[in-house]
Structure 1
Amino acid sequence: MVFTSQAELPIKETDQRYIFLAGSMAPNQSVNWRTQVVKSLPNSYQFLDPTNEHHDTLNALQMKKHVEWELDAMAMADIVLLNFLPNALSPISLVELGLYASFKKLYVVCPKAFYKSSYVVTLCERYHTPTFKTLQEAIDTLT
């Protein structure tokens, strides 16, 4: 099941594992990477997807609620899967990296083509955070 920021977070069930799908947005991408993860791991996890198509038009109160949902969802998650896309700037994803780099639940996908890949990889090495060059490598690890 996929929970989005347009709904309340579920009450966490102890027999369920949750993945927060953090990372770059790709509105022009033919295959949404978040959908790829959900389809690849359909029965293993519950998914927390922060995607909000109207993100850029949220008013201050709506944005506050959205950010708080994201923070609560990341805290609730057993795994935070952070995916950096090669041609994205991803400032919010870099913030999420900083927030969770020292947590053992972070998994990072960072291709060499990402403009800050050397920074991301160095930070992850410091905190022994698993890093992957492709999304498929991360999916295979989580299977």
Structure 2
Amino acid sequence: MVTGPAPAVEARTVLAVRYAETDMMGVVHHAVYPVWFEVGRTDLMLALGLPYTQIEARGYYLMLSGLSVEYRRAAKYGDSVTILTRAAQVRSRTITFSYAVYRAEELLATGETRHIATDHAYRPARLPDDVQAALSVGTR
């Protein structure tokens, strides 16, 4: 039997677009996508066995240091959207998460968030080896 690298861990989050997330045209407002990214990231962390509450209890924050979104198609009120989230890059002090938002098979948006690990005094900190290893599963 031939084995290759383990498949990347990817969280799949399904959300219904709520009226409050739309503008007067019934289109999801651009500021909603980073909120959806956070929902996807939280789901991924749970899937990896790393809920944020545990990371913070161990003395770390994962502070946002960068955000990008590429909008391709409009999501609208009543749509069901799926956010695919994975850890794209893991380093000792930084993590990059990638996101893709779909309506059925139609790609609506892609994005990334970059995070720096800090201690509770907001000083950059090296993530523990077990946290790095669990997050790195998502990059394979």
Question: TM-score with structure 1 length normalisation?
Answer: 0.22
Q: Which structure is larger by alpha-carbon Rg, 1 or 2?
A: 2
Q: Larger relative contact order (C-alpha < 8 A, sep ≥ 6)?
A: 2
Greater share of helix: 1
